[in-house]
Amino acid sequence: MKSINLNITFQQYNDLNELNELDKTLCGLAEQALAGSYSPYSKFRVGTAIRLASGEIVLGSNQENVAYPSGLCAERVALFSIGANNPNAVIQSMAITAQTDAFEILQPVTSCGGCLQVMVEFERRQKLPIEVIFYCINGEILKVPSVKSLLPFAFVEERLEG
């Protein structure tokens, strides 16, 4: 038996002013994406902005459904839109934020396991890392250089590709 220790590297920022202009803009667009959230049940709005290598920005927001779990998270809404409309696009980075009227969100909201698995699939598919920014509107911001660092044991089965 051997013990293995996993470490991830991420950057932590106190607020938007510490980010570069591209990241600041992406976070602002993720915040704007909150307006498209359909979340009458949880009242928990999530917005995502994804920057493609072409410079195009794709937005996504969570879409709930009374027949839970038929809804979809903001990350998957945006990613599946890219996959359906621009399957050869290269994703450079994505910003994710959340908001609710029920309480103040004090820490960045991170992606669920299902979204992480989909994000890893896009990263694998393009053979390039996707930078992820978790943006707390009135708080800190976390930035990771690759989705793989968030889900080191992602499901991968190479034999299914052939």
DSSP line for 53-79: TTS-EEEEE-B--SSTT--B-HHHHHH
Q: Is residue 29 assigned to a domain?
A: yes
Q: Is residue 133 assigned to a domain?
A: yes
Contacts of 83 (CB under 8 A, 6+ apart): 122
Contacts of 97 (CB under 8 A, 6+ apart): 27, 30, 31, 34, 46, 47, 48, 108, 109, 134, 135, 136, 137
| Stretch 13-39: mean pLDDT | 97
Percentage above 90 pLDDT, the chain:
90
Phi, psi for residue 38 in degrees, rounded to 5? -110, 95
Residue 93 has pLDDT above 90, yes or no: yes
d(CA 26, CA 156): 29
Q: Is residue 13 assigned to a domain?
A: no
| Token code pair at residue 31 | 């915040």
Helix or strand (DSSP H, E) at 46? strand 44-52
- pLDDT tens sequence across 103-161: 999 999 999 999 999 999 999 999 999 999 999 999 999 999 999 999 988 888 777 77
Q: Structural domain of residue 34, as residue ranges?
A: 20-151
Which domain CATH number covers 106? Answer: 3.40.140.10
Closest residue by Cα to residue 11 from 152, 161, 131: 131
Give this prediction's pTM. 0.94
How many folded domains does the chain comprise? Answer: 1
